Amino acid sequence: MPRPKTFTIRTFGCQMNEHDSERLAGLLVKEGMVAADPHGDADVVIFNTCTIRENADLKLYSALGHLKAEKQRRPEMQIAVGGCMAQKDRGRIVERAGWVDVVFGTHNLADAPELLRRAALEGPVVQVWDAPDPDAARDMAPALYAVRELPWAAWMTIQTGCDNTCAYCIVPAVRGGEISRPFDDLVREGEMLARSGVTEITVLGQNVNSYGRDITRRRPLFADLLRALGEIEGLERIRFTSPHPKDLRPETIRAMAETPAVCPQLHLPMQSGSDRVLKAMRRGYSAERYLRRLADARAGVDDLAVTTDLIVGFPGESDADFDETLAVVAEADFDSAYTFIFSPREGTRAAELRADFVDADVIAERFTRLKEVLDRSALRHHARREGRVEEVLVEGPSRRNDQMISGRTRQGKLIHFAASDQPLRGGSLVRVKVTHGAPYHLLGELESYVRGPRHKVRIPLLNS
């Protein structure tokens, strides 16, 4: 009997890509393939790509370049490129890396196993749909085969695509317009995840709080979904990302506050604190409106942790614009933030504003100043938690110190604490007293053991 083919998937980009890779791995396992040993040679290497920033392109072509000699040594090895960059640059990938066997896009991920079979018989295959099939996008079946990195935690995609027109963003071009998955399918998926031992889910969408507006006129459907998922026995933690500030409605805030399983954590991308820049970005809100929505959320949800996204150096951003951003960031008092240097993406409005691009040295100086403001607010938030006892979902040994255990609080904060005599497996729930707050993590001492993992050691496919 021939040995099964082995595969490895290398993922670039956001949580949506991470979940797509989990789904893709599940589909390959369903075909009889097995994940390759990390130190061995895989029969199939798949790159699931991102195209948000320029360095994603550089990473892909560098990785493909390293594989060229390996492909010459092992011509039976297959190389595939999927995801957002494949959707956008299918022709360029073939031109620059002719040794790639399969190119597939964001809209036909489920076809990857069949495309690999075809390429083995026919030679290189490029198949990229220019638009999503709404029925395929709403079909929950591919998600049921997902092979998750953490068996106690799962992503749940509730919506694909985006209807917004942010000037810097390529997502609508590579993922299409918003398509919401059916409400009942999502609830059934949550129930199946819970039965398999998943205790934490993160709801995903390009603009999660607009979920359902393409399938119903009843506006607070996302709030209804949070409540419905919160009623599923076994789901202890529900998170979501990312909402759009202009669509953060009172119904969602109330659902967060009134549904115990929904974690007190909100990622609310701001991008800039300058009204002039926000208008150029086509974000649909002002700094004042953003701060009002933020205040409403904090007033409505106890002990809410708030994170954000910020772009430095958007075309035309002046010193005065950046000073306004610093002032708004200081007032917003975020727990943490993801900060990005503006990266022009071909096909976006912002990429056409080359005459207004900000000098790299100016951006670097602004980036440093922004980090100082964010670090101060993060340190304040973490210092205030010293002495508190937090409920922590264990992830496993710390990556930097195997004598320490790492986990996440309900607010999503990373906490490290000394390992105890009793082994703590990932997925366990414990209580930890916070002893020190640093800008990017907490330190603590184990107070008590709540329960062990609820997942099985071997993860069954959800349809089995």
Domain positions in the chain are 6-127, 134-263, 269-384, 389-451
Read off the pTM: 0.86
**CATH of the domain spanning 6-127, picked from 3.40.50.12160, 1.10.150.650, 2.40.100.20, 2.30.30.60:** 3.40.50.12160
Which CATH fold topology does 134-263 show?
A: Transcription Regulator spoIIAA (3.30.750)
**What pLDDT is stored for residue 272 in this prediction?**
98
**What pLDDT is stored for residue 171 in this prediction?**
84
**What pLDDT is stored for residue 26 in this prediction?**
87
Average pLDDT of the residues in 258-279: 98
For residue 34, is pLDDT > 80?
yes
For residue 13, is pLDDT > 50?
yes
Least confident of 250-254, 345-349, 369-373: 345-349
The dotted CATH code for 389-451 is: 2.40.50.140
Q: What is the tens place of the pLDDT at every residue in 305-353?
A: 999 999 999 999 999 999 999 999 999 999 999 999 999 988 899 999 9
Strand partners, 288: none
Residue 423's pLDDT band (cuts 50, 70, 90): confident
- Same fold: 134-263 with 269-384: yes
Q: How far apart are CA 199 and CA 448, in angstroms?
A: 19
**What pLDDT is stored for residue 139 in this prediction?**
59
Which CATH fold topology does 269-384 show?
A: Transcription Regulator spoIIAA (3.30.750)
Q: What is the tens place of the pLDDT at every residue in 62-91?
A: 999 999 999 999 999 999 999 888 898 888
Instruction: Compare 148 and 53 and report the one with higher pLDDT.
Output: 148
- 386: CB partners within 8 A, 6+ apart: 434, 435, 436, 437
The two three-digit tokens of residue 259, written as one number: 């549904």
Q: What is the tens place of the pLDDT at every residue in 270-299?
A: 999 999 999 999 999 999 999 999 999 999
Average pLDDT of the residues in 47-59: 79
Residue 170's pLDDT band (cuts 50, 70, 90): confident
User: DSSP string of 376-435?
Assistant: HHHHHHHHTTTT-EEEEEEEEE-SS-TTEEEEEETT--EEEEE--SS---TT-EEEEEEE
Q: Please name the residue ranges forming H helices in 104-220.
A: 112-122, 134-138, 141-144, 171-175, 183-195
Cα four-point dihedral sign 33, 35, 39, 45: positive
Q: What is the tens place of the pLDDT at every residue in 171-227?
A: 888 888 899 999 999 999 999 999 989 999 999 998 999 999 888 876 669 999 999
**What pLDDT is stored for residue 59 in this prediction?**
86
- 314: CB partners within 8 A, 6+ apart: 168, 271, 272, 277, 280, 281, 342, 350, 358
